[in-house]
Structure 1
Amino acid sequence: MAPKVLVVLTSQNVFPNTNHPTGWYLPEFAHPWKVLHEAGVELTIASPKGGEAPLDPASVELFKEDATSVDFLKNQQSLWKNTVRLADIVPRANEFDAIFYVGGHGPMFDLVSDPVSLSLIQTFASAKKPVSAVCHGPIVFVNATTPSGEPLLRDATVTGFSNTEEDQAQMTSSMPFLLEDRIKAIPGAKYVKAEQPWGVKVVVDKTYQLGGALITGQNPASATEVGKELLKALGL
């Protein structure tokens, strides 16, 4: 049987302080989806609110020359226009072999503290199933805990969108906090990043709290490699 991966998208469609559109980031879904789909992985797409998950329009513009993103945007809209409500996944969580969080600025506002998401992360991690995220996606792990209440990221090595990249994207003032700072604030957590901003960086930590595979990617450029590492973790 084909492995099943739960893909989680944000439901946050605007920045609360500016009302400027946001959402999930096109290449961070398009590239891992291509890797997983071509390997025969079965994907279920969910979001906190269900229904249409908001695509960040800025990502469409910025990646209009990226063939994978363009093809995905043109041919796979049903994936994000008809997402399953995250709460409806809870009773069937054991059906899935891994969970993956797409980035974009949206997760910084909703998924960071969503109780259903945090419960699912604990469920997957406790079962030693791969938990993965890219770019701003790793923010979903900063409030996650083990069943005993320890921070999931205590003593873990993690990457995610850097403070420098946030500054260069001119988005720092729109953020409720910075992802790099939040990871570094967790006891023992080690934040790492590429030598240069926007460079590819993917971290696979198999020694973190619960001992499964914790897979994180730094930025949009890292999305394909996150997909490949997730395939490896699934034994493909």
Structure 2
Amino acid sequence: MNKLFYFFIGIFALVAIVYFGLPKLLNSLGLHPHYDIPKYTLSEKRALIITTSHDTLGDSGKATGVFGSEMTVPYYAFLDANIKVDIASIRGGEIPVEPNSMGWPLATPADYRFKEDAIAMAKLNNSIAISDIDVTMYDVVFLAGGWGAAYDFAQSEDLANLVTQANANNAILGSVCHGALGLVNAKDTDGSILIAGRKVTGVTDKQLEQLGITLTPLHPETELRKRKALFEANTAFRDMLATHVVVDGNLVTGQNQNSGAETSHRILELLAN
């Protein structure tokens, strides 16, 4: 009996170590690094976060969507600065979320907060269609990433037009990871390609290769370079553990899921100034 008791105690201890230790280990390696955003009060401002509506990874049958933290981290960064925040998606309605991205061991504090926030979850389940958006109402347009965006961001004429108009209205344009695909077909005020000759970042081709997900139709680094953008990124043992943020005028872009907090901070800095 004593041996059986100690066996189960050992199993319980091992499970507890893994459950509580794995997120901390991933964090120490570079996944979702801790980042403190200074306090801002920007009550007169309004931000729009746009996500994918695509929910399947190619012909694999595997579910996909927005990567949780790429939506939740900027959502609370803006909300905590007293900014009014709306959430839209390509088609509107319920937004698909990348499985496990808002759960153990990948979830950020913003993910857990979002899931307990009835108002936030209502926005997730009843997002505004981008075709119904009056973009002149917004000071910030933020393009969240996730594998789903590879299927409907650059492919959406409505999104290209929305970003083009937001830029013409001097809004700040932000993106993280695959969200940068929403910038590639937007135009500058002179009709030229918005990102041509400008510094930007997004998820690297190397990260996609390392994760074994290259079946998506468009890859941010490749597409940004095709438009003559000045692509920047950092690398690491695994690129999913790297991060980089670039500010070029009203463009604020983050490399991947680790970059959401700093990207949001840089946007708040621009708004405050």
**Out of 247, 259, 263, which is 1:222 matched to?**
259
Q: Report the CA distance between 1:29 and its aligned residue.
A: 1.2
* Aligned residue type for 2:265: K
Q: 1:81 to 1:192 in 2, by over 3 A?
A: same
SS of 1:57 mapped into structure 2: coil
Identity of aligned pairs, percent? 26
Q: 1:217 to 1:62 in 2, by over 3 A?
A: farther
User: In 1, distance between residues paired with 2:259 and 2:106?
Assistant: 18
Give the aligned partner of residue 184 of structure 1. 225
1:2 aligns with 2:44: yes
TM normalised by structure 1 equals 0.90
User: In 2, distance between residues paired with 1:63 and 1:88?
Assistant: 36
User: In 2, distance between residues paired with 1:88 and 1:68?
Assistant: 27
- Structure 2: tracts of 5 or more residues without a match: 1-42
Q: How many residues align?
A: 226
TM normalised by structure 2 equals 0.78
1:28 aligns with 2:70: yes
- Structure 1: tracts of 5 or more residues without a match: 207-212
**Out of 154, 159, 163, which is 2:201 matched to?**
159
Offset from partner CA, 1:69-105 (integer Å, 9 cap, x none): 222223231121111111111xx22111110011101
Q: Report the CA distance between 1:230 and its aligned residue.
A: 1.2
* Aligned residue type for 1:200: T
1:199 aligns with 2:261: no
User: In 2, distance between residues paired with 1:64 and 1:186?
Assistant: 33
Give the aligned partner of residue 37 of structure 1. 79
Conservation of the 8 A alpha-carbon contact between 2:101 and 2:107 = no
Q: Map 1:96-175 to 2 at 5 A.
A: 96-172=138-214, 174-175=215-216
Give the aligned partner of residue 81 of structure 1. 125
Conservation of the 8 A alpha-carbon contact between 2:151 and 2:218 = no
Conservation of the 8 A alpha-carbon contact between 2:186 and 2:193 = yes
Q: Report the CA distance between 1:108 and its aligned residue.
A: 0.9
SS of 2:142 mapped into structure 1: strand
Q: Report the CA distance between 1:229 and its aligned residue.
A: 1.1
Q: 1:203 to 1:64 in 2, by over 3 A?
A: closer
Conservation of the 8 A alpha-carbon contact between 2:58 and 2:216 = no
Q: 1:137 to 1:5 in 2, by over 3 A?
A: same
Q: Report the CA distance between 1:64 and its aligned residue.
A: 4.5
SS of 1:175 mapped into structure 2: coil
Conservation of the 8 A alpha-carbon contact between 2:102 and 2:108 = no
SS of 1:109 mapped into structure 2: helix
SS of 2:85 mapped into structure 1: strand
User: In 2, distance between residues paired with 1:117 and 1:177?
Assistant: 16
SS of 2:217 mapped into structure 1: coil
Q: 1:142 to 1:50 in 2, by over 3 A?
A: same
Offset from partner CA, 1:147-166 (integer Å, 9 cap, x none): 54311111011100011111
Q: Which moved more, 1:108-117 or 1:14-23?
A: 14-23
